[in-house]
A = this chain, B = another copy of it.
Amino acid sequence: MIVFADIEAAAARLDGIAVRTPLIRSHALDEAAGGTVLVKPECLQVTGSFKIRGAYNFLSQLTPDEAARGVVAFSSGNHAQGVAKAGALLGVHTAIVMPEDAPRAKLENTRQLGGEVITYDRYTGDREAIARDIAAERGAVVVPSYDHEYIIAGQGTVGLEIAQQCAELDLQPDQVLVCCGGGGLIAGSATALKDAFPKVHVHTVEPEDFDDTKRSLESGRRERVAGDARSICDALQAHTPGKMTFEINRRLLGHGLTVSDAEVREAMRFAFRHLKLVVEPGGAVALAAVLAGRIETAHRASVVVISGGNVDRELYSAIQREGSD
């Protein structure tokens, strides 16, 4: 279990490494929501997503012996880049198991950051087994995507910054919407946010087909999505909540929200037109939930986390072209 002090410690480790992304206000978004909406754009973060926060917090706590043997991770792309970048900064070799159909930009960036990329088939391969084999062979430490206290504390610095920035604006947030794959970002962020604002409601937002955390929050136990679940959000395709993350999330979170692929695409167009931010599908779900009216925003102060912006230009252009405005 992690506590507020763990997140403060992670923030100290990340000082000068991760960007303190701004909290942005948009009149167009306020108008669409009928209330105040602040955007935390982690697409502006180093490697284009929040993942550097957890990855660096983890890798910086390896023993010299562990660091010398290198690490291995599995990821659809954002955790991959975060781990590769953290490894480059700390001089640790990184091997990353990635789906062969991951966005090309994510594959290329991971390699450019110095990561050794090993690809597998997302629908037939077992990435955890591949990573375990590499770890066993090399004596490498596995860097989990979410279910580890160092990862959760690192990602929680997003929530810590939101709390600090709301305080600087003299604003009491009513609700914070955060995308959810395995649940690490929201578990850490909720820990920080609830410490600063005990009354704030923190909600997961997931793709419709990957609503495992929403259903788990309802049933009280870790539910699993169908094996044939599909979504445009390549970054949010966890089939079941993490064990450690769910223990935190069941205590701290409000109910879960979901959005459709069409609503995600619409949110990406809104971000292009009004926010001037490049947002990837998985990064757009919280914004989509506000724009699609999945939660009451009128006369409330809401914070929306945009978790990343690593999207291939072909998909991005296609989504822009299909817009009506």
Give A residues with C-beta under 8 Å from B: 19, 21-22, 24-25, 27, 41, 43-44, 46, 48, 85, 105, 108, 269, 272-279, 309, 313-314, 316-317, 320-321, 323, 325
Chain B residue at smallest Cβ distance from A269: B313
When all copies of this chain in the complex are counted, the total is 2
Check if B44 sits within 8 Å of A24, measured CB to CB. Answer: yes
Alpha-carbon distance A25/B27, docked complex (angstroms):
25
Chain B residue at smallest Cβ distance from A25: B19
A-B residue pairs, 10 tightest by C-beta: A276-B309, A317-B317, A22-B22, A43-B276, A313-B320, A276-B278, A317-B320, A272-B278, A317-B321, A27-B46
- Best-buried of A43, A274, A313, A323 by chain B (most CB within 10 Å): A313
- What is the CB-to-nearest-CB distance from A299 to chain B, in angstroms, rounded to a whole number? 19
Check if B325 sits within 8 Å of A321, measured CB to CB. Answer: no
Check if A273 sits within 8 Å of B320, measured CB to CB. Answer: no
Chain B contacts of A317 at CB under 8 A?
A: 316-317, 320-321
Specify the main secondary structure of chain A where it touches its partner. Answer: helix
Given the known interface contacts A27-B46, A44-B275, the answer about A316 and B309 at a Cβ–Cβ threshold of 8 Å is: no
Chain B contacts of A105 at CB under 8 A?
A: 273
Chain B contacts of A323 at CB under 8 A?
A: 313
Known: A41-B276, A317-B317, A317-B321. 17 other contacts (CB 8 A): A19-B24, A21-B22, A22-B22, A22-B44, A24-B44, A27-B46, A43-B276, A48-B276, A105-B273, A269-B313, A272-B313, A272-B316, A276-B278, A276-B309, A277-B277, A277-B278, A316-B320
- Best-buried of A21, A27, A46 by chain B (most CB within 10 Å): A27
Alpha-carbon distance A279/B320, docked complex (angstroms):
15
Alpha-carbon distance A273/B41, docked complex (angstroms):
15
6 A-B pairs with CB atoms under 8 Å apart are A19-B24, A41-B276, A48-B274, A277-B277, A313-B320, A313-B323
Chain B residue at smallest Cβ distance from A104: B325
- What is the CB-to-nearest-CB distance from A315 to chain B, in angstroms, rounded to a whole number? 10
Chain B residue at smallest Cβ distance from A272: B278
Chain B contacts of A22 at CB under 8 A?
A: 21-22, 44
Chain B contacts of A85 at CB under 8 A?
A: 27
Chain B residue at smallest Cβ distance from A42: B276
Check if A276 sits within 8 Å of B44, measured CB to CB. Answer: yes
Chain B contacts of A21 at CB under 8 A?
A: 22
- What is the CB-to-nearest-CB distance from A275 to chain B, in angstroms, rounded to a whole number? 7
Given the known interface contacts A22-B22, A44-B24, the answer about A276 and B273 at a Cβ–Cβ threshold of 8 Å is: no
Alpha-carbon distance A311/B6, docked complex (angstroms):
43
Alpha-carbon distance A21/B85, docked complex (angstroms):
26
